[in-house]
């Protein structure tokens, strides 16, 4: 259990890390409330972005100044025309082994990263199956259905049985951190020797998560080429959404050549070309200047641990108090849960319910907002569409809050949801 005082002291460390990145540090007193934490954090990151723009005034979309030396904290950049050839030198967002060779390609968002990888795969295979798990990110599935015709979408269900076995066409597994926990874990107990490529969307896992290490070990065991794709503005920026940034990291963990017959070693090169042609290169200003240090990793680990503790607590409470109104309580990431209505919800009604709940509970003094993302220092509600089942629900994103505050908020959410479903 984390007390409010211990929480505020930890948040003061986070604010200090951000403040230390400024050339002219702000005079910040230790925060006395959760609202002060939230306000100070967003003010500091706004000051960092503004200072970066003022200092890097001669580093624009095209390299024209010989004196420009664009940097953002520990990251250094070089490029020519409109960042089409962007090269980034800096710390990894993952914990990769010293002997592990990897190639990182940074993009303007997480969707830009996975879009480039999937489109680039057309240069490697003429046709392939892409296997997806229940709960996979809806926009990724929408992208595949609408814009990646060489990939045939295959939705997996439990039990997996021989779902990963070799087939007549090449097989790509999209292992998404958004998936339900049972399906994600079931994959890693299967024989993966029938797969030609593994794409793991790690957005909902901490960069040093044990689950990512398990995925890498599994890919290494079956000699599957591995690509890690990620959006960095969720869990990598201390809850402040510093900027839109994504990446595709091509991991070479295998001591032996991958056993697939297709030249997947070319995929990184083809992805870089796709990023160039799609105009999806990353913006240097969107790289968080506060990442990479031991203090950063320590604080990130502690805040993600707090979110996961709160998430487990919420899942247990909803399972006990809202069993018939809980849609999904056990995603692989543990960062949010979903609630269903007594009557079927559509997008509009789910959105309105999310807005009403956050409005009413915020009026009671709880740190909760209607927001379409997660990983904040406040709880966030939003409509949710399960692209596998087609059903709509309301998503409650877990936040990094003191144990007592989170417990009270969990009880309040359950009370509000049951009362308003009874009214319906």
> What three-state secondary structure class fits 37?
helix
Query: Which residue reads 């995925």 in tokens?
Result: 215
pLDDT digits (tens, 9 = 90+) for 296-338: 999 999 999 999 999 999 999 999 999 999 999 999 999 999 9
Q: Which pLDDT score, from 0 to 100, does residue 2 have? A: 93
Residue 120, Cβ neighbours under 10 Å: how many? Answer: 24
CB 399 within 8 A of CB 376: yes
pLDDT of residue 247: 99
Question: What's the pLDDT at 101?
Answer: 79
pLDDT band for position 99 (cuts 50, 70, 90): low
Mean per-residue pLDDT, 110-138: 98
Q: What is the mean pLDDT of the chain?
A: 94
Q: What angle do CA 238, 206, 23 make, to 5 degrees?
A: 30
Q: What is the pLDDT of residue 380?
A: 98
Q: C-alpha distances in angstroms, 168 versus 171, 192, 194, 340?
A: 9, 16, 10, 40
Rounded to the nearest 10 degrees, how much is the dihedral formed by the CA atoms of 193, 199, 205, 209? Answer: 50
Strands, sheet with 392-397, edge to edge from the N-terminal-most edge strand: 326-328, 336-339, 392-397, 379-385, 368-370
Measuring CA to CA, which residue among 241, 285, 246 is closest to residue 377? Answer: 241
pLDDT of residue 260: 64
φ/ψ of residue 192, rounded to 5: -100, 10
Contacts with 404 (C-beta within 8 Å, 6 or more apart), sequence order = 1, 3, 4
pLDDT in the model for residue 84:
83
User: Is 256's pLDDT higher than 90?
Assistant: no
Using a pLDDT cut of 70, give the percent of the chain over it.
Answer: 96
The pLDDT of residue 58 is 77
Q: pLDDT tens-digit profile of 176-187?
A: 999 999 999 999
Would you state the pLDDT for residue 51? Answer: 94
Token reading at 134: 């229940």
Residue 91 Cα distances to 65, 75, 94, 113, 308, angstroms:
26, 7, 9, 18, 25
pLDDT for 98 equals 65
Domains for the chain: give ranges and CATH numbers.
4-55 (no CATH), 72-286 (3.40.640.10), 295-423 (3.90.1150)
* Residue ranges of E strands in 56-159: 71-72, 75-78, 87-89, 101-107, 128-132, 151-155
Average pLDDT, integer, range 27-32: 96
**What pLDDT does 257 receive?**
64
pLDDT(107) > 60? yes
What distance in Å separates the CA atoms of residue 304 and residue 136, rounded to the nearest whole number?
21
Can you give the pLDDT at residue 17?
A: 99
Tell me the per-residue pLDDT of 351-410, one tens digit each, with 9 for 90 and over: 999 999 999 999 999 999 999 999 999 999 999 999 888 999 999 999 999 999 999 999
User: Confidence class of residue 57 from pLDDT cuts 50, 70 and 90?
Assistant: confident
Q: DSSP E strands: which ranges in 120-161?
A: 128-132, 151-155
**pLDDT tens, residue by residue, 217-234:** 999 999 999 999 999 999
């Amino acid at each position: 259990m984390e007390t409010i005082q211990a929480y505020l002291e930890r948040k003061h460390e986070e604010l200090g890390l951000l403040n230390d990145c400024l050339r002219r540090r702000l005079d910040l007193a230790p925060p006395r409330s959760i609202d002060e934490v939230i306000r100070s954090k967003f003010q500091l990151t706004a000051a960092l972005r503004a200072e970066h723009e003022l200092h890097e005034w001669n580093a624009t979309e095209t390299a024209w100044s010989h004196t420009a030396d664009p940097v953002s904290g520990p990251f250094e950049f070089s490029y020519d025309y409109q960042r089409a050839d962007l090269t980034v030198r800096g710390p990894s967002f993952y914990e990769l082994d010293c002997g592990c060779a990897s190639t990182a390609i940074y993009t303007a968002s997480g969707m830009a990263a996975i879009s480039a990888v999937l489109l680039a795969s057309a240069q490697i295979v003429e046709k392939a199956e892409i296997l997806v798990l229940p709960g996979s990110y809806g926009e990724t599935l929408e992208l595949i259905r609408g814009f990646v015709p060489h990939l045939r979408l295959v939705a997996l269900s439990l039990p997996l049985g021989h779902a990963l076995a070799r087939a007549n066409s090449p097989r790509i597994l999209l292992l998404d951190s958004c998936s339900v926990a049972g399906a994600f874990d079931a994959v890693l107990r299967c024989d993966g020797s029938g797969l030609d490529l593994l794409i793991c969307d790690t957005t909902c896992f901490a960069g040093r998560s044990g689950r990512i290490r398990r995925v890498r070990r599994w890919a290494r065991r079956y000699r599957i080429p591995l690509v890690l794709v990620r959006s960095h503005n969720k869990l990598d920026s201390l809850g402040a959404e510093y900027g839109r940034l994504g990446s595709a990291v091509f991991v070479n963990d295998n001591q032996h050549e991958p056993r697939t017959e297709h030249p997947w070693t070319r995929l990184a090169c083809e992805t870089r070309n796709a990023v160039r042609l799609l105009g999806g290169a990353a913006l240097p200003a969107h790289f968080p200047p506060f990442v990479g240090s031991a203090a950063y990793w320590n604080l990130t680990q502690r805040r993600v641990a707090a979110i996961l503790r709160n998430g487990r607590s919420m899942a247990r409470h909803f399972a006990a108090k809202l069993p018939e109104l809980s849609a999904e309580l056990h995603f692989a990431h543990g960062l949010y849960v979903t609630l269903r209505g007594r009557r079927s919800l559509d997008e509009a009604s789910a959105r309105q319910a999310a807005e009403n709940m956050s409005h009413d509970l915020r009026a009671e003094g709880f740190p909760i907002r209607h927001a379409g993302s997660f990983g904040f220092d406040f709880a966030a509600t939003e409509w949710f569409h399960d692209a596998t089942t087609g059903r709509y629900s309301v998503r409650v994103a877990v936040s990094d809050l003191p144990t007592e505050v989170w417990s009270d908020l969990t009880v309040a959410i359950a009370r509000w949801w049951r009362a308003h479903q009874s009214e319906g």
